[in-house]
Amino acid sequence: MKLMAGNSNLPLARAIAGYLEQPLTDAAVRRFADEEVFVEINENVRGEDVFVLQSTSYPCNDNLMELLICIDALRRASAKRITAVVPYFGYARQDRKPGPRTPISAKLVANLITTAGADRVLAVDLHAGQIQGFFDIPTDNLFAAPVMAADIQARYGDKPLMVVSPDVGGVVRARALAKRLDNAPLAIVDKRRDKPGQSEVMNIIGDVKGRACILIDDIIDSGGTLCNAAQALMDAGAASVTAYITHGVLSGAAVARVNSSALKELVITDSILPTEATQASDRIRIITIAPLIGEAVRRIADESSVSSLFD
Ligand code: R5P
């Protein structure tokens, strides 16, 4: 087995390599003067089972091209099997046509990865489960929930918990986490705009009074969804609100928004390389999913069960 990394998240790649006690493959993934991506693999990979580690996070188009070109280089170097390990799968939110004459970019990206030469894909908390079906090659979708549940038990296990989905679409994810937390109760933030032009009203389904609320979501991008939900929960009498989010996209002013929000803490994973602002925030904590990904990689290489990681 060999591990190769693009440049999107080298600390995570090194941590996965550390877990597997494997060095990263000697390769140069660099730019020509005009920013074209160039990849050169400096060791033999003929007949090898190769895992390419690359999140397609900001700058998402550059990181996607790096992934595709790494896969192409490996295929032309006669690797036996190539697995694209994409902890954060960008473009995932474009998974359906929201209106006429719009793309389904998640499907296009799946096609690009397959056409480049990937034999398998390994991702974490895909925005929508059906993205697995966009690939006609085996695709494993890992869940960060066990890592989050362990952290929640350690930090908040002695408090009366309430798991909260920040929108109706996230209920399945929230329910799965609640089950791992000894069947903690579940609440839902129901955002409604009764008439166009009216501001959104946040209704809380469930009694959160006095509860330590755990908001769970797959992505925090601008932070709007989460910070508004946190405020609505505090207004409804929650004792505290902590958010656990797999992918800390945190674009633009998101970190500043989190820093001045009603959130006690935002916990994200290291699926995306944190910016300096994220690292500097005393409201944001990062937990690692390197052992989770490393173990899944080991099991794929050994042809053993990946799903039993979540039993
Ligand atoms: C939406 O379906 C996702 O699960 C997230 O809630 C959303 O992407 C978060 O975006 P933002 O932080 O910009 O509100």
**For the chain, what percent of residues have pLDDT higher than 70?**
99
Band of residue 199 on the pLDDT scale cut at 50, 70, 90: low
- State whether 169 and 101 are in the same domain: no
Number of domains in the chain: 2
In a domain, 310, yes or no: no
Is 35 marked as binding a ligand? yes
| 191 counts as catalytic | yes
Least confident of 122-126, 201-205, 301-305: 201-205
From the CB of 252, is ligand 1 less than 6 Å away?
A: no
Least confident of 122-131, 196-205, 244-253: 196-205
- State whether 195 and 94 are in the same domain: no
- State whether 85 and 214 are in the same domain: no
In a domain, 306, yes or no: no
In the predicted model, is pLDDT for residue 42 greater than 90? yes
Q: Which residues constitute the domain of residue 167?
A: 145-288
Name the average pLDDT for the chain. 96
- State whether 167 and 61 are in the same domain: no
Report CA-CA distances (Å) from 168 to 211, 219, 223, 265. 20, 15, 17, 22
Q: What does the alpha-carbon distance between residue 119 and residue 71 come to, in Å, rounded to a whole number?
A: 10
What radius of gyration do the chain's Cα atoms show? 20
Report CA-CA distances (Å) from 82 to 71, 78, 195. 7, 10, 50
Helix (H) or strand (E) holding 73, with range, is helix 60-76
In a domain, 294, yes or no: no
In a domain, 187, yes or no: yes
Band of residue 311 on the pLDDT scale cut at 50, 70, 90: confident
Structure tokens at 298: 């080991």
Average pLDDT for 78-87 = 98
211 CA to centre of ligand 1 in angstroms? 24
Is 217 marked as binding a ligand? yes
Band of residue 201 on the pLDDT scale cut at 50, 70, 90: confident
One-character DSSP codes across 229-271: HHHHHHHTT-SEEEEEEEEE---TTHHHHHHTSS-SEEEEETT
> pTM for the complete prediction?
0.96
186 CA to centre of ligand 1 in angstroms? 19
In a domain, 303, yes or no: no
What is the atom index within ligand 1 of the atom nearest the CA of 220?
Answer: 12
User: What is the b/e burial string over 95-105, where b = at least 16 CB atoms within 10 angstroms of the residue's CB?
Assistant: beeeeeeeeee
- State whether 172 and 274 are in the same domain: yes
In a domain, 43, yes or no: yes
Band of residue 272 on the pLDDT scale cut at 50, 70, 90: very high
In the chain, the amino acid numbered 8 is S
Query: Do residues 188 and 205 make contact, with C-beta atoms less than 8 angstroms apart?
Result: yes
- State whether 84 and 8 are in the same domain: yes
Structure tokens at 263: 């959130």
Tens-place pLDDT, residues 148-169: 999 999 999 999 999 999 999 9
pLDDT of residue 138: 98
Tens-place pLDDT, residues 214-253: 999 999 999 999 999 999 999 999 999 999 999 999 999 9
In the predicted model, is pLDDT for residue 127 greater than 70? yes
- State whether 164 and 122 are in the same domain: no
Nearest to 109 by CA among 62, 68, 142, 66: 68
Nearest to 248 by CA among 236, 263, 231: 263
- State whether 155 and 247 are in the same domain: yes
User: What is the b/e burial string over 265-274, where b = at least 16 CB atoms within 10 angstroms of the residue's CB?
Assistant: bbbbbbbbbb
pLDDT of residue 202: 86
Residue 74 belongs to a domain with what CATH number?
A: 3.40.50.2020
Tens-place pLDDT, residues 91-115: 999 999 999 999 999 999 999 999 9
- State whether 151 and 267 are in the same domain: yes
